[in-house]
Amino acid sequence: MERQSEFTLRRRVQFHETDAAGTVHFSRYLLYMEEAEHAFWRAAGLSIAPLEADYGWPRAAVTCEYRAPLRFEDEFEIHIRIVAMTQKSMRYACVLTLGDVVVATLTMTTVCVAKRPDGPARSVPMPPVMHERFQVARDAPLRG
């Protein structure tokens, strides 16, 4: 299986994702990015949260720039790609598009940490299979 660098998820806006302004609430864009991330992992034969795992993937940082609204029943695309990968972390860039319109651009850094029921998290090297299935996207720009 070739190593994967990017993934596109097609998704429809659900009514419960809108707010009283008539458009999608700005916090939901993070849910969209995460749904694409997890679908990306599944497409690479992996789960980000297997029941038996003794590690997890908390987020270290997120950014989002909003360019156009989304409305109920809009069918949009979430393009996610790996832009950096270390022994312990991954960084994604993500673009939401509605037809030709760029709706938002996001980034997310996520870190592999040992699961501990309480106390501070400790980052650990990610499972080796990650480097067999994923790789950083080439220098092609995110769009175009």
Place of tokens 């993500």: 94
**Using the rule CB under 8 A, which residue among 58, 86, 87, 140 binds its own copies?**
58
- Residue 45 within binding range of its own copies, rule CB under 8 A: no
- Residue 114 within binding range of its own copies, rule CB under 8 A: no
CA distance 29 to 131: 27
Q: Which stretch binds its own copies (CB under 8 A): 24-32, 79-87, 89-97, 122-130?
A: 24-32
Q: How many CB atoms lie within 10 A of CB 96?
A: 26
Alpha-carbon Rg of the chain, whole angstroms? 16
- Residue 71 within binding range of its own copies, rule CB under 8 A: yes
Nearer to its own copies, 122 or 140 (CB): 122
Q: Using alpha carbons, list the distances in angstroms from residue 142 to 62, 78, 83, 135, 137.
A: 17, 12, 10, 15, 9
Nearest approach in angstroms of CB 86 to its own copies is 17
Look at phi and psi of residue 116 and say left if phi exceeds 0, alpha if psi is from -120 to 50, else beta. beta
Nearer to its own copies, 85 or 108 (CB): 108
**Which spans of this chain sit near its own copies (rule: CB under 8 A)?**
14-16, 18-23, 25-28, 30-31, 34-35, 38, 42, 47-49, 51, 56, 58-66, 68-69, 71-73, 117-118, 120-121
